[in-house]
Amino acid sequence: MLSTRRRLLASSIICSLAVAGWADIAAAQTGGDAAEVGEIVVTGSRIRRDTFNAPQPLSVVTAEAIRESGNTSIGDILLEQPNINPATNSQNSSGTLFLAGQTRADIRGIGPTRTLVLMDGRRLPFSDASSPAVDLNTIPSLMVERIETIAGGASAVYGSEAISGVVNFIMKKEQDGLELDVQAGIAEEGDGEEFRSGFNWGSKFMDGRLNVLIGGEYAKQDKVMQKDRDWAYPGLRRDTTKTPQTIIPNSRSNNSPYAVFQLTGGALGTARSVALDVRDPTKVVRLSAACSTPTVQPDCQDEALNYSTVYNALQGKSDRAVLRTYVDYRITENWKTFLDATYVKAGGYGVFVPAFSSAPGGGTMPVVLRGDNAFLNGAGATAAALRAEWAAAGKPFTQASTAQVGKIWQEFGGRDVKTEREQARVAGGFEGKFQTFGRDVNVDGYAQYSELSGTTISYNVPNVARVQQATDAVVVNGRVVCRSAAAQAAGCVPWDLVNGPSREAILWSNATSATDQKVKQTVAGLNFATNLFDLPAGPVGIAFGAEYRKEESRFVQDALGASGALFFNAIGTRAGEYNVKDAYGEVRIPILRGVPFAEELSVELAGRVSDYSTIGGADQYRLHVEWAPVKDVRFRLTEATAVRAPNIVELFSPQSRNFTTAAIDPCDKDVFRTASAAQQAARRATCAAAIPGWNPATFVSNFGTGRSSLPLLQGGNPNLEPERAHTYEYGVVIQPRWLPGFQASADFFKYNITDQVGTIAINTLLQNLCYDSATAYGSNPFCTQIQRDPTGTNGGAVPGGVVQVTLINQNVSSVKVEGWDYSMSYGFHTEDVFGQDFGDLSLRVDATWMYRFAVQGLPGQPYVQAANTMNNGTPEWKGNASARWSYDRFSFTWSTLYVGSMISNSAFTPGAITRYKTGDYFRHDARVTWRVNEQTTVRAGVVNLFDRHPPAIPDNSIYTGTATGSSQYDNRGRFFFVGAGMNF
């Protein structure tokens, strides 16, 4: 008979285990005998069975792996699994307005909103009202027994959001005594400190009928700045003036540079731009031609300018405290009740560039200096030098004479965002077993309620109108005042652009913006499982049940921020609710067992019907076939459909202001020049119709590479339909009896997803659907979403510039994903192989080959391949290998994470430059554990032992921001950690 631990190991292997850490594999293979494992419920099905018969490939991360990993975030551990793709985590969430400090799971890179997160088979509530998904940091990692991941459609079993798969956290339910754990780590550069401490205490009372478990943990993480890493600062830049494009190494900026105070355009013209040197603000310098053009050139590298990369964070700052209590009471031998309650308090800190005004173009906060400005005409050498430049441009010192200001408004300080969230969740229910018609029927029921409240405070978001009023300073009756009488009456304090503002001017122009959010979830479910009758090959097992769920969400921005008056996204109020009623059923039919060419043959069917208050009815199914011709080989096949109902944000968000830097204007002269003949022919008609007096050889747009961001008007759509998916999985598992301890598996996967909720890609709208379309401009509905400013005086910055583009949520896109998951492991006692006991050795390799990730932006359009590109951070190959040696009380683990080379940017021509591809990435980690005695275990390790940094990607947020690639690689560099666990 196999021991409990051996059976658990074998079941995990059979289910195509993709372990993120292998801390307990050797121990599992060498553990002593124990009681047999009975029938249990495994992730992916509610039918009770032995764990050999999990219906889909199952990945497992153990409690030991979590402890020994050195990570304080569960999300970082999951990311090491080949089937998990980059998502929001500590390396990129600091660049978001509301998600700082969060970590989310994303199976196959299809999106965190399409990955369902469960705790003990019950869905977890959303962790944010601005972007519904589950923050994994709300789960107390020290109380996790294991994490099970199913990659594949599981909506028939669990309902909406399970399109790409399920992550199920199996929690500890009991413990004898007190356990303490503490861990600390720091990057080699002396920053990025991490700390986690926690406890678990458990005991039984009332003759063992009452079981109590209480646990909690506190964790914090400090930031890492881009300027503190030589490999990341100042950065790289693409030379967009060349075809094919090349790279400017050691570039001072990946976007437009600004100055303490910069004048360009207007009175100074395009050939004469000046700035106050950021190194010495009293010094006036003449900017180079590359930094003086209407469009800042890629080779603009003037040292006098300020570059935004100095403000970027490679890792954010966050903290969290989690407390969980679990209690169960056994009423009889077959019936018990339980209560599971969790409280979380989490904080995150977003790091942003201070407010800025671009020159030319103005951007979100356009500011001009007029010839009669009081400080320009005031005392001091700096003012005199600026007047000399002004006069050299041939412009008078009058109100009508102007120059645009380009400036990072560092006087306000960074636009940091402080996020705080509190979440409480309580689940109560019962589990039991009764007999009917001579059959055991397992039943469980529960009710769960959770509530999240949170706030964000965005600091140093200037009031745009007040900045414009304060900087327009004039002399009246010998006193410097703001030109506007209304501003004077409101207390306007003049801002000295030449010599620096007073504290009072900063305070009058500065502002903060706050948001409040509330998320509620109510769930109730009832489940039954039994064996109907016996066939020659075994019992026919069924499971069925029903579930009710209600989601409520409200997100409110303060009135000033919602008005659009600030240098900030005007979001307003997002609120709504919906409910869904579900019923499901599963059946497992064993057809053959123990006959020639059919050691086992079984079929499973599952179905779910749902009734949503928003989208109406929806249904999904799953078909699974398993065939073992011999004991050594097992084949499995699964076909399933899945749905994802649109969430509250997608449905009910009001239209609000957002921005993008990715948009390119098809009518711009440089873009037009590189277009095909057919595109140019179409644009000669459409651009001329959109822009009065348009000239393809001279028109310079207000947005594009190196220019201001493009304003967007985005929002929800209550008429959305559900997303739908059809998934397939075919696999084989090999366990040769002639090689004990060896297991291998290979599984093909395929996803066809349609009606994905999103917005039309901005450049698809601008190019394909509007300006390159054969439809006449005036009758093209897509062109009406693009608002241009004919005169350049109403927000367009230049005549014909775009004021904003309207993009609301629609069921617009489709995705096709295909690939293979591979897994291989071998573990043995050295004494069995070498004849002498040197301990135990276990080896493991897991890999995912995802050769297709094709995206269709709109129905009828061709699919665009995104796999193996940095467009969505999806490598074609990703793998993890591990070797673990255990001897007596000591263990050593070496693990290697592999991310295959990806195309860095489609603008590059293969072979033209060395950085056309990212190159293969290997990260090596070494960890040791020593059991001091029965009560104490210590651990230590080095993550990223060889200090491998991310690939150098020009003009891509590989290091910072919200790009998916920024969480694909390790930004910290070599990282050391130590920890200890104690039991009493």
List residues bridging with 350 in a β-sheet. Answer: 417
- 691 vs 780, 850, 851, 968, CA distance in Å? 15, 44, 43, 42
Q: How many residues does the chain have?
A: 984
- pLDDT at res. 24: 31
Helix (H, G, I), strand (E, B) or coil at 688: helix
Name the least confident of 125-129, 416-420, 860-864, 895-899.
860-864
Q: What angle do CA 485, 488, 494 make, to 5 degrees?
A: 115
Here the tokens at position 900 are 């295959």
- pLDDT at res. 377: 95
- pLDDT at res. 255: 63
Categorize the per-residue pLDDT at 14 as very low, low, confident or very high, splitting at 50, 70 and 90: very low
**What residues have CB less than 8 Å from 230, skipping those under 6 apart?**
none
Which residue, 930, 928, 869, is CA-closest to 900?
Answer: 869
- The span from the CA of 166 to the CA of 148, in Å, is 8
Categorize the per-residue pLDDT at 481 as very low, low, confident or very high, splitting at 50, 70 and 90: very high
Categorize the per-residue pLDDT at 243 as very low, low, confident or very high, splitting at 50, 70 and 90: low
- pLDDT at res. 6: 34
Cβ 189 vs Cβ 172: under 8 Å: no
Here the tokens at position 247 are 């790279």
Higher pLDDT, 30 or 320: 320
| Whether residue 244 has a cis bond before it, omega within 30° of 0 | yes
Higher pLDDT, 915 or 276: 276
- The span from the CA of 694 to the CA of 777, in Å, is 14
pLDDT digits (tens, 9 = 90+) for 632-677: 999 999 999 999 999 998 998 887 777 887 889 999 998 999 889 9
**Strand blocks (E) in 511-572:** 513-535, 538-557
- The span from the CA of 673 to the CA of 697, in Å, is 8
The alpha carbons of the chain give a radius of gyration, in whole angstroms, of 31
- pLDDT at res. 907: 56
Q: Is the pLDDT score of 34 beyond 50?
A: no
Cβ 753 vs Cβ 163: under 8 Å: yes
- The span from the CA of 711 to the CA of 915, in Å, is 31
- pLDDT at res. 372: 95
- The span from the CA of 296 to the CA of 303, in Å, is 15
**Mean pLDDT, to the nearest integer, of 91-102?**
80
- The span from the CA of 62 to the CA of 59, in Å, is 10
- Considering 251-255, 390-394, 505-509, 831-835, the range whose residues carry the highest mean pLDDT is 505-509
Categorize the per-residue pLDDT at 882 as very low, low, confident or very high, splitting at 50, 70 and 90: very high
pTM summary value: 0.85
Q: Is the pLDDT score of 373 beyond 70?
A: yes
- pLDDT at res. 219: 95
Q: Is the pLDDT score of 905 beyond 70?
A: no
Q: How far is CA 949 from the centre of its chain?
A: 20
pLDDT digits (tens, 9 = 90+) for 161-218: 889 999 999 999 999 999 999 999 999 999 999 999 999 999 999 999 999 999 999 9
- The span from the CA of 74 to the CA of 124, in Å, is 15
Cβ 109 vs Cβ 81: under 8 Å: no
**Mean pLDDT, to the nearest integer, of 945-971?**
68
Higher pLDDT, 915 or 515: 515
- 540 vs 49, 50, 546, CA distance in Å? 11, 14, 21
**Mean pLDDT, to the nearest integer, of 774-800?**
87
* 920-950 CB burial, b ≥16 within 10 A, e <16: ebebbbebebeeeeeeebebbbbbbeebbbb
Q: Within 13 Å, how many C-alpha atoms sit on residue 262's CB side?
A: 37
**What residues have CB less than 8 Å from 640, skipping those under 6 apart?**
152, 153, 154, 155, 156, 620, 621, 622, 623, 726, 727
**What residues have CB less than 8 Å from 887, skipping those under 6 apart?**
838, 839, 840
Which residue, 575, 465, 628, is CA-closest to 129?
Answer: 575
* Interstrand relation of 710-715 and 801-808 (parallel, antiparallel or unpaired): parallel
- The span from the CA of 945 to the CA of 924, in Å, is 6
Provide, rounded to the nearest whole percent, the portion of the chain with pLDDT above 90: 56
Here the tokens at position 233 are 């600062």
Which residue, 617, 832, 601, 798, is CA-closest to 703?
Answer: 798
- pLDDT at res. 206: 95
- The span from the CA of 624 to the CA of 54, in Å, is 11
- 116 vs 103, 112, 127, 226, CA distance in Å? 14, 8, 13, 33
Q: Is the pLDDT score of 306 beyond 50?
A: yes
- What is the sign, positive or negative, of the torsion defined by CA atoms of 500, 501, 503, 506? negative
- pLDDT at res. 361: 59
Instruction: Tell which phi-psi region holds residue 962, choosing left (phi > 0), alpha (psi between -120 and 50) or beta.
Output: alpha
| Host H or E run for residue 687 | helix 677-690
Name the least confident of 375-389, 658-672, 733-747, 903-917.
903-917
Amino acid at 616: G
**Mean pLDDT, to the nearest integer, of 419-438?**
94
- pLDDT at res. 906: 56
Name the least confident of 671-680, 832-841, 843-852, 945-954.
945-954
Name the least confident of 264-268, 482-486, 615-619, 930-934.
264-268
Q: Is the pLDDT score of 53 beyond 60?
A: no
**What residues have CB less than 8 Å from 111, skipping those under 6 apart?**
164
Mean pLDDT of the chain: 86
Q: Is the pLDDT score of 927 beyond 90?
A: yes
Provide, rounded to the nearest whole percent, the portion of the chain with pLDDT above 70: 89
Cβ 737 vs Cβ 769: under 8 Å: no
**Mean pLDDT, to the nearest integer, of 877-906?**
90
Higher pLDDT, 960 or 949: 949
Q: Is the pLDDT score of 31 beyond 50?
A: no
**Mean pLDDT, to the nearest integer, of 453-467?**
95
Instruction: Tell which phi-psi region holds residue 335, choosing left (phi > 0), alpha (psi between -120 and 50) or beta.
Output: beta
- The span from the CA of 128 to the CA of 119, in Å, is 18
| Host H or E run for residue 419 | strand 417-436
Helix (H, G, I), strand (E, B) or coil at 480: strand
Categorize the per-residue pLDDT at 46 as very low, low, confident or very high, splitting at 50, 70 and 90: low
Q: Is the pLDDT score of 20 beyond 60?
A: no
- pLDDT at res. 569: 82
Instruction: Tell which phi-psi region holds residue 961, choosing left (phi > 0), alpha (psi between -120 and 50) or beta.
Output: left
- pLDDT at res. 50: 44
Higher pLDDT, 980 or 44: 980
Q: What angle do CA 761, 763, 766 make, to 5 degrees?
A: 110
- The span from the CA of 796 to the CA of 946, in Å, is 50
Q: Is the pLDDT score of 26 beyond 80?
A: no
Categorize the per-residue pLDDT at 272 as very low, low, confident or very high, splitting at 50, 70 and 90: low
- pLDDT at res. 897: 95
**Mean pLDDT, to the nearest integer, of 399-415?**
89
Categorize the per-residue pLDDT at 359 as very low, low, confident or very high, splitting at 50, 70 and 90: low
